[in-house]
Homo-oligomer: A and B are copies of this chain.
Amino acid sequence: MEKYYPLLQNTPLFKGILPENFESMFKCLSAKTKSYEKGEPIMLAGEDVKNVGIVLEGKIQIQKDDINGERIILDELGAGGIFGEVFACAGIEKSPVTVYSIFPSEILFVDYRKIITLCPSNCSFHSMLIRNMLMLIAQKNIMLNSKLDIISKKTTREKLFAYFKAQAKKTGTKMFELPFSRDELADYLCVNRSAMSRELCKLRDENFIEFEKRTIKILKWPFRS
Protein backbone atom coordinates (compact mmCIF):
# COMPACT_ATOMS: atom_id res chain seq x y z
CA MET A 1 0.00 0.00 0.00
CA GLU A 2 2.73 2.45 0.93
CA LYS A 3 4.15 2.30 -2.58
CA TYR A 4 1.09 4.19 -3.82
CA TYR A 5 1.53 7.08 -1.39
CA PRO A 6 3.44 9.27 -3.87
CA LEU A 7 0.66 8.72 -6.40
CA LEU A 8 -2.10 9.41 -3.90
CA GLN A 9 -0.36 12.54 -2.70
CA ASN A 10 -0.84 13.98 -6.19
CA THR A 11 -4.41 12.80 -6.46
CA PRO A 12 -7.01 15.60 -6.50
CA LEU A 13 -8.88 13.97 -3.63
CA PHE A 14 -5.92 13.64 -1.29
CA LYS A 15 -3.94 16.67 -2.38
CA GLY A 16 -2.77 18.74 0.54
CA ILE A 17 -2.88 15.85 2.99
CA LEU A 18 0.48 14.74 4.36
CA PRO A 19 1.52 11.13 3.58
CA GLU A 20 2.31 10.51 7.22
CA ASN A 21 -1.40 10.91 7.92
CA PHE A 22 -2.46 8.43 5.22
CA GLU A 23 -2.42 5.33 7.37
CA SER A 24 -4.65 6.70 10.09
CA MET A 25 -6.84 8.39 7.51
CA PHE A 26 -7.44 5.18 5.57
CA LYS A 27 -8.26 3.42 8.79
CA CYS A 28 -10.78 6.14 9.65
CA LEU A 29 -12.26 5.97 6.14
CA SER A 30 -12.50 2.16 6.09
CA ALA A 31 -10.39 2.06 2.93
CA LYS A 32 -9.83 -1.24 1.15
CA THR A 33 -8.02 -2.29 -2.01
CA LYS A 34 -9.04 -4.88 -4.57
CA SER A 35 -7.50 -6.26 -7.77
CA TYR A 36 -9.25 -6.70 -11.10
CA GLU A 37 -8.28 -8.49 -14.26
CA LYS A 38 -8.53 -7.03 -17.74
CA GLY A 39 -12.16 -6.88 -18.81
CA GLU A 40 -13.53 -7.56 -15.35
CA PRO A 41 -16.44 -5.37 -14.20
CA ILE A 42 -15.71 -3.20 -11.19
CA MET A 43 -19.15 -1.70 -10.76
CA LEU A 44 -22.33 -2.68 -12.57
CA ALA A 45 -25.24 -0.40 -13.38
CA GLY A 46 -28.02 -0.84 -10.83
CA GLU A 47 -25.71 -2.03 -8.08
CA ASP A 48 -25.49 -0.22 -4.78
CA VAL A 49 -22.69 2.31 -4.67
CA LYS A 50 -21.36 2.81 -1.20
CA ASN A 51 -17.77 3.48 -2.12
CA VAL A 52 -15.69 5.97 -3.98
CA GLY A 53 -13.07 4.24 -6.11
CA ILE A 54 -9.53 5.42 -6.77
CA VAL A 55 -7.44 3.76 -9.47
CA LEU A 56 -4.05 2.84 -8.02
CA GLU A 57 -2.86 0.89 -11.02
CA GLY A 58 -4.16 -0.10 -14.45
CA LYS A 59 -6.94 1.49 -16.45
CA ILE A 60 -10.72 1.55 -16.25
CA GLN A 61 -13.56 2.63 -18.48
CA ILE A 62 -16.85 4.17 -17.37
CA GLN A 63 -19.70 3.22 -19.66
CA LYS A 64 -23.39 3.84 -19.92
CA ASP A 65 -25.61 1.13 -21.29
CA ASP A 66 -28.42 2.39 -23.43
CA ILE A 67 -31.97 1.00 -23.53
CA ASN A 68 -31.27 -0.16 -27.05
CA GLY A 69 -28.13 -1.90 -25.92
CA GLU A 70 -25.76 0.72 -27.26
CA ARG A 71 -22.61 1.45 -25.36
CA ILE A 72 -21.60 5.00 -24.57
CA ILE A 73 -18.14 5.64 -23.24
CA LEU A 74 -18.31 8.35 -20.63
CA ASP A 75 -14.74 8.32 -19.44
CA GLU A 76 -11.47 6.46 -19.21
CA LEU A 77 -9.31 6.65 -16.11
CA GLY A 78 -5.72 5.64 -15.39
CA ALA A 79 -3.75 5.61 -12.14
CA GLY A 80 -4.94 8.40 -9.86
CA GLY A 81 -8.40 8.50 -11.39
CA ILE A 82 -11.44 8.58 -9.18
CA PHE A 83 -14.97 7.36 -9.82
CA GLY A 84 -18.29 7.02 -8.01
CA GLU A 85 -17.84 10.24 -6.07
CA VAL A 86 -20.64 12.05 -7.89
CA PHE A 87 -23.28 9.51 -6.94
CA ALA A 88 -21.94 9.59 -3.44
CA CYS A 89 -22.34 13.33 -3.10
CA ALA A 90 -25.63 13.50 -4.95
CA GLY A 91 -27.13 10.92 -2.64
CA ILE A 92 -27.72 8.40 -5.41
CA GLU A 93 -27.70 4.83 -4.20
CA LYS A 94 -27.89 2.78 -7.39
CA SER A 95 -25.14 3.21 -9.92
CA PRO A 96 -26.39 4.45 -13.32
CA VAL A 97 -23.08 3.49 -14.94
CA THR A 98 -20.95 0.44 -15.43
CA VAL A 99 -17.23 0.49 -14.74
CA TYR A 100 -14.88 -2.00 -16.35
CA SER A 101 -11.23 -2.71 -15.81
CA ILE A 102 -9.67 -2.60 -19.26
CA PHE A 103 -6.21 -3.45 -17.91
CA PRO A 104 -5.21 -5.39 -14.84
CA SER A 105 -6.05 -2.86 -12.15
CA GLU A 106 -5.73 -2.16 -8.47
CA ILE A 107 -8.55 -0.12 -6.97
CA LEU A 108 -8.78 1.66 -3.63
CA PHE A 109 -12.30 1.85 -2.23
CA VAL A 110 -13.35 4.41 0.36
CA ASP A 111 -16.69 4.52 2.13
CA TYR A 112 -18.06 7.83 0.96
CA ARG A 113 -20.26 8.42 4.00
CA LYS A 114 -17.09 8.62 6.02
CA ILE A 115 -15.68 11.22 3.69
CA ILE A 116 -18.53 13.66 3.88
CA THR A 117 -19.36 13.10 7.52
CA LEU A 118 -17.04 14.73 10.01
CA CYS A 119 -15.87 11.98 12.33
CA PRO A 120 -16.23 12.19 16.12
CA SER A 121 -12.48 12.48 16.58
CA ASN A 122 -12.60 15.54 14.30
CA CYS A 123 -9.64 14.51 12.12
CA SER A 124 -7.82 17.41 10.54
CA PHE A 125 -7.99 16.01 7.01
CA HIS A 126 -11.75 15.94 6.78
CA SER A 127 -12.39 19.55 5.81
CA MET A 128 -9.58 19.29 3.29
CA LEU A 129 -11.11 16.14 1.86
CA ILE A 130 -14.47 17.82 1.43
CA ARG A 131 -12.89 20.88 -0.15
CA ASN A 132 -10.97 18.64 -2.55
CA MET A 133 -14.11 16.72 -3.36
CA LEU A 134 -15.87 19.95 -4.19
CA MET A 135 -13.25 20.96 -6.70
CA LEU A 136 -13.11 17.46 -8.11
CA ILE A 137 -16.82 17.29 -8.82
CA ALA A 138 -16.99 20.84 -10.12
CA GLN A 139 -14.22 20.05 -12.58
CA LYS A 140 -15.91 16.86 -13.67
CA ASN A 141 -18.90 19.06 -14.24
CA ILE A 142 -16.84 21.25 -16.54
CA MET A 143 -15.69 18.19 -18.43
CA LEU A 144 -19.25 17.08 -18.95
CA ASN A 145 -20.02 20.49 -20.31
CA SER A 146 -17.13 20.19 -22.71
CA LYS A 147 -18.42 16.88 -23.93
CA LEU A 148 -21.86 18.38 -24.36
CA ASP A 149 -20.26 21.07 -26.49
CA ILE A 150 -18.94 18.42 -28.81
CA ILE A 151 -22.00 16.20 -28.96
CA SER A 152 -24.27 19.19 -29.45
CA LYS A 153 -22.87 19.75 -32.92
CA LYS A 154 -25.25 18.69 -35.64
CA THR A 155 -22.93 17.18 -38.23
CA THR A 156 -20.21 14.57 -37.87
CA ARG A 157 -17.72 17.00 -39.36
CA GLU A 158 -18.47 19.59 -36.73
CA LYS A 159 -18.27 17.01 -33.98
CA LEU A 160 -14.89 15.83 -35.19
CA PHE A 161 -13.53 19.34 -35.33
CA ALA A 162 -14.94 20.20 -31.95
CA TYR A 163 -13.28 17.11 -30.54
CA PHE A 164 -10.01 17.76 -32.33
CA LYS A 165 -10.03 21.32 -31.14
CA ALA A 166 -10.45 20.19 -27.56
CA GLN A 167 -7.62 17.69 -27.95
CA ALA A 168 -5.36 20.26 -29.59
CA LYS A 169 -6.04 22.69 -26.80
CA LYS A 170 -5.38 19.98 -24.23
CA THR A 171 -2.06 18.89 -25.69
CA GLY A 172 -1.06 22.30 -26.98
CA THR A 173 -0.10 20.99 -30.43
CA LYS A 174 -1.75 20.44 -33.77
CA MET A 175 -0.62 16.81 -33.79
CA PHE A 176 -1.83 14.44 -31.14
CA GLU A 177 -2.70 10.86 -30.33
CA LEU A 178 -6.31 9.79 -30.06
CA PRO A 179 -7.06 7.97 -26.82
CA PHE A 180 -9.68 5.95 -28.70
CA SER A 181 -9.91 3.41 -31.46
CA ARG A 182 -12.11 4.48 -34.35
CA ASP A 183 -14.92 2.40 -32.94
CA GLU A 184 -14.63 4.01 -29.53
CA LEU A 185 -14.30 7.48 -31.01
CA ALA A 186 -17.51 6.98 -32.95
CA ASP A 187 -19.17 5.88 -29.72
CA TYR A 188 -17.85 8.93 -27.96
CA LEU A 189 -19.11 11.27 -30.67
CA CYS A 190 -22.39 9.37 -30.91
CA VAL A 191 -22.14 8.75 -34.64
CA ASN A 192 -21.98 5.74 -36.86
CA ARG A 193 -18.46 4.38 -37.22
CA SER A 194 -18.45 3.96 -40.97
CA ALA A 195 -19.99 7.38 -41.50
CA MET A 196 -17.29 8.84 -39.31
CA SER A 197 -14.61 6.96 -41.19
CA ARG A 198 -16.00 8.34 -44.42
CA GLU A 199 -15.97 11.87 -43.04
CA LEU A 200 -12.41 11.49 -41.78
CA CYS A 201 -11.27 10.52 -45.26
CA LYS A 202 -13.17 13.41 -46.77
CA LEU A 203 -11.39 15.76 -44.37
CA ARG A 204 -8.10 14.21 -45.40
CA ASP A 205 -8.92 14.65 -49.10
CA GLU A 206 -9.84 18.27 -48.49
CA ASN A 207 -6.50 18.83 -46.74
CA PHE A 208 -7.98 19.66 -43.39
CA ILE A 209 -6.18 16.87 -41.58
CA GLU A 210 -3.68 14.06 -41.92
CA PHE A 211 -3.92 10.88 -39.94
CA GLU A 212 -2.29 7.53 -39.50
CA LYS A 213 -3.65 5.06 -37.01
CA ARG A 214 -4.32 7.10 -33.88
CA THR A 215 -2.21 10.08 -34.81
CA ILE A 216 -4.09 13.11 -36.02
CA LYS A 217 -2.49 16.20 -37.51
CA ILE A 218 -4.53 19.34 -38.05
CA LEU A 219 -3.56 21.23 -41.19
CA LYS A 220 -6.16 23.98 -41.07
CA TRP A 221 -9.39 24.84 -39.30
CA PRO A 222 -12.66 25.00 -41.15
CA PHE A 223 -14.03 28.06 -39.37
CA ARG A 224 -12.36 30.87 -37.52
CA SER A 225 -9.83 29.66 -34.96
Q: Which A residues form the contact surface with B (CB < 8 A)?
A: 64, 66-68, 72, 74, 85-92, 96, 116, 118, 127, 130-131, 133-135, 137-142, 144-145, 147-149, 151-154, 158, 190-192, 223-225
Contact B190 A224 (CB under 8 A): no
CA distance A153 to B72 in the complex (A): 10
**From B87, B118, B131, B148, contact of A147 by CB (8 A):** B148
**From B72, B89, B96, B131, contact of A138 by CB (8 A):** B89
Contact A134 B133 (CB under 8 A): yes
**From B74, B86, B192, contact of A142 by CB (8 A):** B86
**From B87, B92, B134, B153, contact of A116 by CB (8 A):** B134
Note all chain B residues with C-beta closer than 8 A to A64.
145, 149
Contact B130 A191 (CB under 8 A): no
What number of copies of this chain does the assembly contain? 2
- CB nearest neighbor in B for A165: B67
**From B74, B135, B191, contact of A89 by CB (8 A):** B135
CA distance A83 to B148 in the complex (A): 18
Contact A139 B90 (CB under 8 A): yes
- Given A152-B72, A223-B67: A90 in contact with B142 (beta carbons within 8 A): yes
- CB nearest neighbor in B for A91: B135
Contact A190 B89 (CB under 8 A): no
24 A–B contacts, CB within 8 A, in A order: A64-B145, A66-B152, A67-B223, A67-B225, A68-B158, A68-B223, A72-B148, A74-B145, A86-B138, A86-B141, A87-B142, A89-B135, A90-B135, A90-B139, A91-B139, A96-B145, A130-B131, A133-B134, A140-B141, A144-B145, A151-B152, A151-B190, A154-B190, A154-B192
- CB nearest neighbor in B for A85: B138
